[in-house]
């Protein structure tokens, strides 16, 4: 198993290290455009092997030839929003980066599974799919696992129970339009509606929706990376070990939920072939409307990228 991580920044480096620690691959390649950064970080991680007891070979590089024949490629490359830059400017910049990165990746690997992490997530996953020409089952966006992890953390903290017993689903787009599905949220099978007031649930839903911004406000520069990296690695673990996990991921819908040809967060079965099926769960009217609204925002943005991607 060879796993390449593109972008040796906060999320990419943390993900690469976690992949090695969990011994999910024999080879990990960390690539960035910045010279020296991926090499230095990768060597530092590699030298942790004897202490942390992993034999994974981690290499840093600026050369896509070193990514040849990767089984899984995680894309975290991108720019953060700078003062004076509009959301649209950022979208165009990151779409250009993800387009070029995907083209380079595909020059050296035939049939990888791409896990997209760069934001805006659902749109970047679309870019990766269009440019790679891979089947949609092999181009998957990481968002729902992170959003769900945040929701589960807040629920467990509120009830003072183990996170292990908290099951939840957050669907829809990664951002303001995410759709936490309260109906399928439970603690050891007990619906949270029996454990918390409607007001408390609403406040946790709201905190989940603003989870990324809460961290950005603390950090001032940069955004969250421990939980995002851990979430991407949970998806990798499901694929590498063919676990058939049911996880919320950004997947290309083909009529499910009345949505066609749009990447959006839904429950999928993840195994060695990537997305093995998309689950269509019963949503109430408001949730379904939320999901469709999310999808229409993603679609509009993707349509605006048509010339950049052709
Ligand atoms: N090719 C390769 N690497 C690139 C490219 C490119 N064309 N353009 C930028 N990068 C690299 C940067 O040099 C940087 O090292 O991507 C890395 C991004 O790292 P950070 O700025 O630390 O950002 P990070 O916090 O890791 O987030 C990366 O993941 O969660 C999302 O919103 C987040 O889109 C962002 C991405």
User: Could you tell me the CA-to-CA distances from 135 to 8, 98, 140 in Å, in that order?
Assistant: 26, 17, 10
Q: What is the CATH number of the domain that holds 78?
A: 3.40.50.720
Q: What is the pLDDT of residue 177?
A: 81
Of 141, 174, 190, which residue constitutes the final position of a domain?
141
- With 0.75 as the threshold, say if the pTM is over it: yes
d(CA 273, CA 237): 12
The number of the ligand 1 atom at minimal distance from the alpha carbon of 225 is 25
Q: What is the pLDDT of residue 50?
A: 98
Cβ neighbours, 10 Å, residue 38: 28
Q: Do residues 185 and 193 touch, judged by C-beta distance below 8 A?
A: no
Rg (CA), the chain: 19
Q: Do residues 239 and 262 touch, judged by C-beta distance below 8 A?
A: no
Q: What is the pLDDT of residue 222?
A: 85
Asked if residue 255 has pLDDT above 80, the reply is: yes
Q: Are residues 33 and 125 in the same domain?
A: yes
In this structure, what token pair is assigned to residue 72?
Answer: 């899984």
Probe target for ligand 1 pocket from 4, 5, 8, 9, with the most ligand atoms within 8 Å of CB:
9
The number of the ligand 1 atom at minimal distance from the alpha carbon of 13 is 26
What range defines the domain where residue 280 resides?
Answer: 144-309
Q: Are residues 103 and 188 in the same domain?
A: no
User: In terms of DSSP H, where are the helices of the chain?
Assistant: 10-21, 37-46, 49-52, 87-108, 121-132, 144-159, 198-209, 211-219, 226-240, 285-304, 306-309
User: Over the stretch 62-88, which tens digit does the pLDDT of each residue have?
Assistant: 999 999 999 999 999 999 777 677 777
In this structure, what token pair is assigned to residue 268?
Answer: 């999928």
Strands 2-6 and 170-172 come out as: unpaired
In this structure, what token pair is assigned to residue 58?
Answer: 């981690």
Mean pLDDT across the chain, nearest whole number? Answer: 95
d(CA 254, CA 258): 8
Centre of ligand 1 to C-alpha 185, Å, is 33
The number of the ligand 1 atom at minimal distance from the alpha carbon of 12 is 26
Q: What is the pLDDT of residue 88?
A: 76
Q: Which 8-state DSSP code applies to residue 173?
A: -
Asked if residue 133 has pLDDT above 90, the reply is: yes
Confidence class of residue 231 from pLDDT cuts 50, 70 and 90? very high
Of 141, 163, 189, which residue constitutes the final position of a domain?
141
Helices and strands per DSSP (H, E), number in the chain? 11, 14
The total domain count for the chain is 2
Select which of 10, 126, 129, 174 is catalytic.
174
Q: Are residues 157 and 286 in the same domain?
A: yes
User: Over the stretch 262-289, which tens digit does the pLDDT of each residue have?
Assistant: 999 999 999 999 999 999 999 999 999 9
Centre of ligand 1 to C-alpha 8, Å, is 7
Q: What is the pLDDT of residue 220?
A: 85
Task: Report whether residue 33 contacts ligand 1, using a CB cutoff of 6 Å.
Answer: yes
Active site residue 126: no
Asked if residue 190 has pLDDT above 80, the reply is: yes
Asked if residue 139 has pLDDT above 90, the reply is: yes
Q: Which 8-state DSSP code applies to residue 82?
A: P
Centre of ligand 1 to C-alpha 269, Å, is 28
Probe target for ligand 1 pocket from 77, 85, 117, 127, with the most ligand atoms within 8 Å of CB:
77
Asked if residue 176 has pLDDT above 90, the reply is: no
Q: What is the pLDDT of residue 80?
A: 74
Asked if residue 45 has pLDDT above 90, the reply is: yes
Task: Report whether residue 80 contacts ligand 1, using a CB cutoff of 6 Å.
Answer: yes
Asked if residue 175 has pLDDT above 80, the reply is: no
Q: Are residues 223 and 235 in the same domain?
A: yes
What residues pair up with 178 in beta bridges, in sequence order? Answer: 172
Q: What is the CATH number of the domain that holds 238?
A: 3.90.110.10
């Amino acid at each position: 198993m060879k796993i390449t991580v593109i972008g040796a920044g906060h999320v990419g480096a943390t993900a690469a290290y976690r992949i090695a620690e969990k011994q999910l691959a024999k080879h990990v390649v960390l690539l960035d455009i910045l010279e020296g950064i991926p090499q230095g970080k990768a060597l530092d991680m590699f030298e942790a092997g004897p202490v942390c007891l992993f034999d994974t070979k981690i290499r840093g590089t600026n050369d896509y030839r070193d990514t040849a024949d990767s089984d899984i490629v995680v894309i975290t490359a991108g720019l953060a929003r700078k003062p004076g830059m509009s959301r649209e400017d950022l979208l165009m910049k990151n779409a250009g980066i993800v387009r070029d990165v995907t083209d380079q990746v595909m020059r050296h690997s035939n049939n990888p599974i791409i896990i997209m992490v760069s934001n805006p997530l659902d749109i970047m996953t679309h870019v990766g799919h269009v440019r790679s020409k891979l089947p949609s089952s092999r181009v998957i966006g990481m968002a729902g696992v992170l959003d769900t992890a945040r929701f589960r953390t807040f629920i467990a903290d509120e009830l003072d129970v183990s996170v292990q017993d908290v099951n939840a689903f957050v669907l829809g787009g990664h951002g303001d339009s995410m759709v936490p599905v309260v109906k399928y949220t439970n603690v050891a099978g007990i619906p949270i509606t029996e454990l918390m007031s409607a007001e408390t649930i609403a406040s946790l839903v709201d905190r989940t929706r603003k989870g990324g911004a809460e961290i950005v406000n603390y950090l001032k520069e940069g955004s969250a990376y421990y939980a995002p990296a851990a979430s991407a690695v949970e998806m990798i673990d499901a694929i590498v070990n063919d676990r058939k996990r049911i996880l919320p991921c950004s997947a290309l819908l083909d009529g499910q939920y009345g949505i066609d040809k749009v990447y959006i967060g839904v429950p999928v079965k993840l195994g060695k072939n990537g997305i093995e099926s998309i689950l269509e769960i019963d949503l109430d009217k408001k949730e379904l409307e939320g999901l469709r609204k999310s999808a229409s925002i993603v679609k509009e943005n993707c349509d605006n990228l048509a010339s950049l991607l052709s």
